[in-house]
Amino acid sequence: RKEVEQDPGPFNVPEGATVAFNCTYSNSASQSFFWYRQDCRKEPKLLMSVYSSGNEDGRFTAQLNRASQYISLLIRDSKLSDSATYLCVVQLINTPLVFGKGTRLSVIA
Amino acid sequence: GAVVSQHPSRVICKSGTSVKIECRSLDFQATTMFWYRQFPKQSLMLMATSNEGSKATYEQGVEKDKFLINHASLTLSTLTVTSAHPEDSSFYICSARGPAGGLGQYFGPGTRLTVT
């Protein structure tokens, strides 16, 4: 079983739509959780950290369920500029990040 | 935020030659840097963890004699791909833990290596 599994997509949605991505992780000792965004042929950039209580940053909402080892990202009111690959990332204490394969999102006008 | 640079951004080399990639933390000291490789439509795979002043720690399956890592200062780590082959063509990305042990890692812009 892969350490971090994501729905590969692609998700093709119209502008203004709400879209949700899911992710599961296998190591219950994982301590830190993130969503990164990666544009084509570019490096990943931190979108947001994910906290147990859930957190929101503008149109983006992240949720963590430790019992189910499940992480989600919700994007509301999608913009064309949201088109990218979204990477689910987990980390144990003081260890390198472990990346999922990513979910590709295309927002269409 | 913390800035990490990489050089070169793109390199094309002939099979059998060696290529050096530099990774620098520009506005903070990074005792630990990480080197990743990403093939098309694949996730980032960690190759090695580079520690300032000591030997790098390589992930299983990564040849340490082929991918030489040097972390000579708190702001510079280098990855040398020795005797490169076409199958080494990939996107190589370095990252550094943020300053003061902050969460997450900051990534360099990546180096696209093409071996012909």
Q: Dump pLDDT digits (tens) for A38-74.
A: 998 899 999 999 998 889 999 999 999 999 999 999 9
Q: Identify which has the larger pLDDT, B106 or A37.
A: A37
Question: Taking 60 as the threshold, does the pLDDT of residue B4 lie above it?
Answer: yes
Residues of B with Cβ-Cβ distance to A41 under 8 angstroms:
91, 110, 112
Cα(A101)–Cα(A8) distance, rounded to whole angstroms? 7
Question: Taking 80 as the threshold, does the pLDDT of residue B52 lie above it?
Answer: yes
Question: Taking 70 as the threshold, does the pLDDT of residue A89 lie above it?
Answer: yes
| Average confidence score pLDDT of chain B | 90
Question: Taking 60 as the threshold, does the pLDDT of residue B114 lie above it?
Answer: yes
Length of chain A equals 109
| Cβ–Cβ gap A41/B107 under 8 Å | no
Per residue in B7-51, pLDDT (tens digit) is: 999 999 999 999 999 999 998 888 889 999 999 888 899 999 988
How many angstroms separate the CA of residue B62 from the nearest CA in chain A? 16
Question: Taking 90 as the threshold, does the pLDDT of residue B93 lie above it?
Answer: yes
- Predicted confidence band of residue A94 (pLDDT cuts 50, 70, 90): confident
Per residue in A13-29, pLDDT (tens digit) is: 999 999 999 999 999 99
Cα(B82)–Cα(B68) distance, rounded to whole angstroms? 7
| Cβ–Cβ gap B104/A42 under 8 Å | no
CA distances from A79 to A46, B3, B49 (A): 18, 27, 36
Residues of A with Cβ-Cβ distance to B104 under 8 angstroms:
32, 34, 46, 49, 97
| Cβ–Cβ gap A97/B105 under 8 Å | yes
Instruction: Please compute, for residue A21, the number of CA atoms within 13 A of its CA located in the half-sphere on the CB side.
Output: 32
| Cβ–Cβ gap A101/B110 under 8 Å | no
Identity of the residue in A42, A43, A49 whose CB atom sits nearest the CB atom of B103: A49
* pLDDT computed for residue B104 by the predictor: 63
- Predicted confidence band of residue A8 (pLDDT cuts 50, 70, 90): confident
| Average confidence score pLDDT of chain A | 93
